[in-house]
Amino acid sequence: MDRASFFDQVYQVVRLIPAGRVTSFGAIAAYLGTKGSSRMVGYAMNGSFAADPHVPAQRVVNRNGLLTGKFHFHPPELMQQLLESEGVKVEDDKVVNFKSLFWDPAIELDLER
DNA sequence: GAGGTGACTGCGA
DNA sequence: CTCGCAGCCACCT
Protein backbone atom coordinates (compact mmCIF):
# COMPACT_ATOMS: atom_id res chain seq x y z
CA MET A 1 0.00 0.00 0.00
CA ASP A 2 1.50 3.22 -1.08
CA ARG A 3 0.23 4.69 2.17
CA ALA A 4 2.66 2.54 4.08
CA SER A 5 6.18 3.80 3.63
CA PHE A 6 9.04 1.43 3.05
CA PHE A 7 9.82 1.76 6.74
CA ASP A 8 6.33 0.66 7.70
CA GLN A 9 6.59 -2.39 5.49
CA VAL A 10 9.82 -3.35 7.19
CA TYR A 11 8.24 -2.92 10.60
CA GLN A 12 5.36 -5.19 9.62
CA VAL A 13 7.68 -7.99 8.56
CA VAL A 14 9.93 -7.65 11.59
CA ARG A 15 6.95 -7.83 13.90
CA LEU A 16 6.00 -11.13 12.24
CA ILE A 17 9.27 -12.70 13.31
CA PRO A 18 8.42 -15.32 15.96
CA ALA A 19 10.26 -15.16 19.27
CA GLY A 20 13.41 -17.20 19.37
CA ARG A 21 13.97 -16.67 15.67
CA VAL A 22 16.08 -14.22 13.72
CA THR A 23 16.32 -12.98 10.15
CA SER A 24 18.66 -10.96 8.02
CA PHE A 25 18.35 -7.59 6.38
CA GLY A 26 18.72 -9.13 2.96
CA ALA A 27 15.87 -11.57 3.60
CA ILE A 28 13.52 -8.74 4.51
CA ALA A 29 14.73 -6.63 1.65
CA ALA A 30 14.20 -9.49 -0.78
CA TYR A 31 10.71 -10.08 0.57
CA LEU A 32 9.87 -6.43 0.04
CA GLY A 33 11.27 -6.66 -3.46
CA THR A 34 14.21 -4.42 -2.73
CA LYS A 35 16.85 -7.05 -2.11
CA GLY A 36 19.27 -4.79 -3.93
CA SER A 37 18.85 -2.23 -1.19
CA SER A 38 19.38 -4.19 1.98
CA ARG A 39 20.70 -0.94 3.41
CA MET A 40 17.23 0.49 3.37
CA VAL A 41 16.07 -2.24 5.73
CA GLY A 42 18.74 -1.37 8.23
CA TYR A 43 18.02 2.29 7.72
CA ALA A 44 14.37 1.63 8.38
CA MET A 45 15.28 -0.10 11.63
CA ASN A 46 16.84 3.14 12.67
CA GLY A 47 13.32 4.43 13.14
CA SER A 48 11.99 1.17 14.57
CA PHE A 49 12.40 2.54 18.08
CA ALA A 50 9.91 5.24 17.26
CA ALA A 51 7.53 2.72 15.70
CA ASP A 52 4.42 1.75 17.56
CA PRO A 53 3.95 -0.94 18.59
CA HIS A 54 7.56 -1.61 19.39
CA VAL A 55 9.52 -3.53 16.75
CA PRO A 56 11.68 -6.50 17.85
CA ALA A 57 14.71 -5.15 16.07
CA GLN A 58 16.94 -7.46 18.08
CA ARG A 59 15.68 -10.32 15.91
CA VAL A 60 17.10 -8.63 12.85
CA VAL A 61 20.77 -9.22 12.27
CA ASN A 62 23.07 -9.06 9.28
CA ARG A 63 23.81 -11.91 6.88
CA ASN A 64 26.43 -13.38 9.16
CA GLY A 65 24.13 -13.41 12.18
CA LEU A 66 26.20 -10.62 13.65
CA LEU A 67 24.48 -8.07 15.89
CA THR A 68 25.59 -5.17 13.77
CA GLY A 69 23.01 -2.80 15.17
CA LYS A 70 23.49 -3.57 18.82
CA PHE A 71 25.14 -0.20 19.30
CA HIS A 72 21.90 1.42 18.34
CA PHE A 73 20.26 -0.05 21.41
CA HIS A 74 20.37 1.58 24.78
CA PRO A 75 22.27 0.14 26.31
CA PRO A 76 23.96 -1.70 23.40
CA GLU A 77 24.04 -4.96 25.35
CA LEU A 78 20.25 -4.83 25.46
CA MET A 79 20.04 -6.41 22.02
CA GLN A 80 21.91 -9.52 23.10
CA GLN A 81 20.01 -9.58 26.35
CA LEU A 82 16.67 -9.56 24.57
CA LEU A 83 17.75 -12.35 22.23
CA GLU A 84 18.94 -14.55 25.06
CA SER A 85 15.72 -13.79 26.87
CA GLU A 86 13.89 -15.31 23.93
CA GLY A 87 16.06 -18.38 23.87
CA VAL A 88 18.49 -17.19 21.22
CA LYS A 89 22.06 -17.69 22.33
CA VAL A 90 24.49 -14.98 21.39
CA GLU A 91 28.23 -15.37 21.49
CA ASP A 92 30.77 -12.75 20.53
CA ASP A 93 27.97 -10.53 19.19
CA LYS A 94 26.88 -13.35 16.91
CA VAL A 95 23.76 -15.53 16.92
CA VAL A 96 24.62 -19.12 17.81
CA ASN A 97 23.14 -21.68 15.43
CA PHE A 98 22.03 -18.76 13.33
CA LYS A 99 21.38 -20.94 10.31
CA SER A 100 18.86 -23.02 12.23
CA LEU A 101 17.21 -20.01 13.83
CA PHE A 102 17.06 -18.15 10.54
CA TRP A 103 13.52 -17.08 9.65
CA ASP A 104 13.00 -16.17 6.03
CA PRO A 105 9.78 -14.18 5.42
CA ALA A 106 9.96 -14.98 1.72
CA ILE A 107 9.52 -18.63 2.69
CA GLU A 108 7.65 -18.65 5.99
CA LEU A 109 5.08 -16.07 4.95
CA ASP A 110 4.69 -17.62 1.54
CA LEU A 111 3.88 -20.99 3.06
CA GLU A 112 1.13 -19.42 5.12
CA ARG A 113 -0.38 -18.02 1.99
C1' DG B 1 14.96 20.27 -6.09
C1' DA B 2 19.53 18.43 -4.84
C1' DG B 3 22.82 16.28 -1.75
C1' DG B 4 24.14 13.24 2.00
C1' DT B 5 23.39 9.24 4.84
C1' DG B 6 23.51 4.25 6.11
C1' DA B 7 21.52 -1.62 11.76
C1' DC B 8 23.98 -4.43 4.24
C1' DT B 9 25.78 -7.45 0.66
C1' DG B 10 28.85 -9.51 -2.65
C1' DC B 11 33.07 -9.74 -4.98
C1' DG B 12 38.00 -8.80 -5.64
C1' DA B 13 42.87 -8.52 -3.93
C1' DC C 1 42.31 -16.06 6.24
C1' DT C 2 41.27 -10.65 6.49
C1' DC C 3 40.60 -6.07 4.38
C1' DG C 4 38.68 -2.84 1.04
C1' DC C 5 35.58 -1.08 -2.61
C1' DA C 6 31.33 -0.25 -5.06
C1' DG C 7 26.25 -0.65 -5.70
C1' DC C 8 21.97 -0.13 -3.88
C1' DC C 9 17.71 3.36 -2.96
C1' DA C 10 14.23 5.41 0.54
C1' DC C 11 14.39 8.92 3.98
C1' DC C 12 16.13 13.32 6.03
C1' DT C 13 17.97 18.13 5.93
**CA A98 to CA A91: how far, in whole Å?**
11
Task: Please answer whether residues A94 and A1 qualify as being in contact, where contact means their C-beta atoms are separated by less than 8 angstroms.
Answer: no
Q: Which residue ranges have CB below 7 A from strand B?
A: A 24-26, 37-43, 45-46, 48-49, 57-58, 60, 62-64, 68-70, 72-73, 79
Q: Which nucleotides on strand B sit less than 7 A from a protein beta carbon?
A: 5-10
Distance A23 CA to B1 C1' (A): 37
Tens digit of each residue's pLDDT (9 = 90 or more) over A18-59: 999 999 999 999 998 888 788 899 999 999 988 989 999 999
Tens digit of each residue's pLDDT (9 = 90 or more) over A49-100: 889 899 999 999 999 999 999 999 999 999 999 999 999 999 999 999 999 9
Q: For the whole model, what pTM was predicted?
A: 0.90
Q: Which nucleotides on strand C sit less than 7 A from a protein beta carbon?
A: 7-12
